[in-house]
Amino acid sequence: MARPAPSVERTVRLLKFLASHPKERFSLSDIARSLEFNKATCHAMLTELVDEGMLIRHPADKTYMLGPALVNLGTAAALDANEALDIARVELVAIHEELSVSCVATSLVGREVVVMARRDVDRPLFGYLPVGNRSPAVPPYAKEFMAWSRQEEVEAWLDSATSRISVAERAAYYRDLDRVRITGYHATTLDQAMSLRRILEQLQGLDGARELLDSIEAHVHERHDLSEQDSDPRLAAVMSFRAPIFGPSGRVVLALGIGQFKPDVSVEELKRYAERLIEGTRRVTEALHGSEPFPNWARPVEAGGMVRAVSA
Q: Which of 125-139, 240-254, 261-275 has the lowest mean pLDDT?
A: 125-139
pLDDT of residue 70: 64
pLDDT of residue 192: 45
What is the rounded average pLDDT of the residues 19-32?
A: 84
Q: Please name each of the domains of the chain with its CATH number.
A: 6-66 (1.10.10.10), 74-287 (3.30.450.40)
The amino acid that residue 97 corresponds to is E
Cβ count near 280 (within 10 Å): 22
Sign of CA dihedral 85, 149, 172, 274: positive
The amino acid that residue 142 corresponds to is A
Residue 289, sorted as left (phi over 0), alpha (psi -120 to 50) or beta, turns out to be left
Mean pLDDT is highest, among 22-36, 196-210, 246-260, for 246-260
Q: Does the pTM exceed 0.95?
A: no
Distance CA 219, CA 196 (A): 9
Long-range CB contacts for residues 194-197, cutoff 8 Å, separation at least 24: 194/126, 196/220, 197/126
Length of the chain (residues)? 312
**Would you place residue 33 in the very low, low, confident or very high pLDDT band (cuts 50, 70, 90)?**
very high
